[in-house]
Amino acid sequence: MDSKTLSDTSQAVKQVVERFGIEILDDHKRFCSAFADFAPKLSKENKAFFVALSENIGSIFIRENDDVAAGNKNPDDVMQRAIKDISEYLNNEKAELVARSIAAALGWKAALPEEKTQDNGNEPASYGSSASLIEDLFKRAQNGDNDACFNLGEHFFYGRGVKQDYAKAVKWYIMSSDRGDCSSQKKLADCYYLGQGTERNIAKAAHRYEQAAEQGDYDSQKALIKCYMIGGNGLLADTKKAEYYSKRYNIPISRGTTEDILQNAMAGIPSAQFKLGNMYLHGTGVERSPETAVTWFKKAADQNYPAAQFNLGVCYYYGIGVQRDRITAVDLYKKAADGGDMDALNNLAGCFMRGEGTHTDQSAAARYYKKAAESGLAKAQYNYGECCFNGFGVTKDAREAVKWFKEAAIQGDPDGQFSYGWCLRDGLGCLRDNILAKDMFEKASAQRHTAAQKALGYCYANGTGTPKNYASAADQFAKAAAAGDKEAAKLLVACYKYGGDYLAINEAKAHHYADQYSLDYDMI
Lowest mean pLDDT among 130-139, 146-155, 364-373, 464-473: 130-139
Residue 116 is assigned to a structural domain of this protein: no
For 400-432, how does the pLDDT look when each residue is reduced to its tens digit (9 = 90+)?
999 999 999 999 899 999 999 999 999 999 999
* Closest alpha carbon to 36 in 21, 26, 48, 52: 48
The dihedral built from the CA positions of residue 411, 413, 416 and 421, taken in this order, carries a sign that is positive
Instruction: Indicate whether 470 and 440 sit together in one domain.
Output: no
Instruction: Indicate whether 428 and 513 sit together in one domain.
Output: no
- Residue 123 pLDDT more than 50? no
For 26-59, how does the pLDDT look when each residue is reduced to its tens digit (9 = 90+)?
887 778 877 887 787 887 787 788 877 877 788 8
State how far the Cα of 456 lies from the Cα of 453, in Å rounded to an integer: 5
* Closest alpha carbon to 349 in 327, 370, 332: 370
Residue 118 is assigned to a structural domain of this protein: no
Instruction: Indicate whether 390 and 308 sit together in one domain.
Output: no
Name the average pLDDT for the chain.
87
Contact 172, 144 (CB under 8 A): no
Instruction: Indicate whether 243 and 269 sit together in one domain.
Output: no
Q: How far is CA 218 from CA 69, 212, 453, in A?
A: 58, 9, 24
Using the 3D structure, point to which of 220, 255, 290 is the last residue of a domain.
255
| The pLDDT of residue 444 | 94
- Residue 111 pLDDT more than 80? no
| The pLDDT of residue 128 | 38
Mean pLDDT in residue range 371-389: 96
Instruction: Indicate whether 382 and 442 sit together in one domain.
Output: yes
- Residue 328 pLDDT more than 80? yes
Residue 267 is assigned to a structural domain of this protein: yes
For 185-208, how does the pLDDT look when each residue is reduced to its tens digit (9 = 90+)?
999 999 998 888 898 899 999 999
- Residue 384 pLDDT more than 90? yes
Instruction: Indicate whether 248 and 315 sit together in one domain.
Output: no
Instruction: Indicate whether 102 and 33 sit together in one domain.
Output: yes
Residue 507 is assigned to a structural domain of this protein: yes
Report percent pLDDT > 90 for the chain.
Answer: 51
HEC profile of 404-431: HHHHHHHCCCHHHHHHHHHHHHHCCCCC
The DSSP symbol for 347 reads H
Instruction: Indicate whether 467 and 427 sit together in one domain.
Output: no
State how far the Cα of 52 lies from the Cα of 74, in Å rounded to an integer: 21
The dihedral built from the CA positions of residue 236, 239, 245 and 249, taken in this order, carries a sign that is positive
Longest pairwise C-alpha distance within the chain: 78
pTM exceeds 0.75 for this model: no
CATH for 163? 1.25.40.10
Instruction: Indicate whether 419 and 373 sit together in one domain.
Output: yes
pLDDT tier at 115 (50, 70, 90 boundaries)?
very low
- Residue 182 pLDDT more than 70? yes
The dihedral built from the CA positions of residue 22, 26, 32 and 37, taken in this order, carries a sign that is negative
pLDDT tier at 89 (50, 70, 90 boundaries)?
low
pLDDT tier at 256 (50, 70, 90 boundaries)?
low
Using the 3D structure, point to which of 58, 91, 110 is the last residue of a domain.
110
- Residue 303 pLDDT more than 80? yes
For 457-510, how does the pLDDT look when each residue is reduced to its tens digit (9 = 90+)?
999 999 999 999 999 999 999 999 988 899 999 999 999 999 999 999 999 999
pLDDT tier at 110 (50, 70, 90 boundaries)?
low
Mean pLDDT in residue range 282-290: 80
Using the 3D structure, point to which of 255, 271, 299 is the last residue of a domain.
255
Residue 117 is assigned to a structural domain of this protein: no
Strands (E), 278-323: none
Exposed, middle or buried: residue 371 (CB in 10 Å: 0-12, 13-18, 19+)? middle
Instruction: Indicate whether 461 and 411 sit together in one domain.
Output: no
Q: How far apart are the first and last CA of the chain?
A: 28
Instruction: Indicate whether 60 and 7 sit together in one domain.
Output: yes
Q: How far is CA 237 from CA 229, 246, 253, 279, 284, in A?
A: 5, 15, 14, 15, 12
State how far the Cα of 180 lies from the Cα of 144, in Å rounded to an integer: 12
Q: How far is CA 169 from CA 54, 174, 184, in A?
A: 16, 9, 10
Domain that residue 326 falls in? 257-336
| The pLDDT of residue 370 | 97
| The pLDDT of residue 120 | 41
| The pLDDT of residue 244 | 92
State how far the Cα of 332 lies from the Cα of 312, in Å rounded to an integer: 7
pLDDT tier at 117 (50, 70, 90 boundaries)?
very low
Residue 120 is assigned to a structural domain of this protein: no
Residue 348 is assigned to a structural domain of this protein: no
Which of 28-37, 180-189, 320-329 ranks highest by mean pLDDT?
320-329
Instruction: Indicate whether 248 and 266 sit together in one domain.
Output: no
Q: Between residues 417 and 232, which one has the greater pLDDT?
A: 417
State how far the Cα of 453 lies from the Cα of 451, in Å rounded to an integer: 5
Residue 141 is assigned to a structural domain of this protein: no
DSSP lists the bridge partners of residue 36 as none
pLDDT tier at 1 (50, 70, 90 boundaries)?
low
Lowest mean pLDDT among 164-178, 315-329, 403-417: 164-178
Question: What's the domain count of the chain?
Answer: 5
DSSP characters over 114-165? PPPPS--TTSPP-GGGGHHHHHHHHHHHHTT-HHHHHHHHHHHHHTSSS---
State how far the Cα of 208 lies from the Cα of 174, in Å rounded to an integer: 10
Exposed, middle or buried: residue 121 (CB in 10 Å: 0-12, 13-18, 19+)? exposed
State how far the Cα of 408 lies from the Cα of 403, in Å rounded to an integer: 9
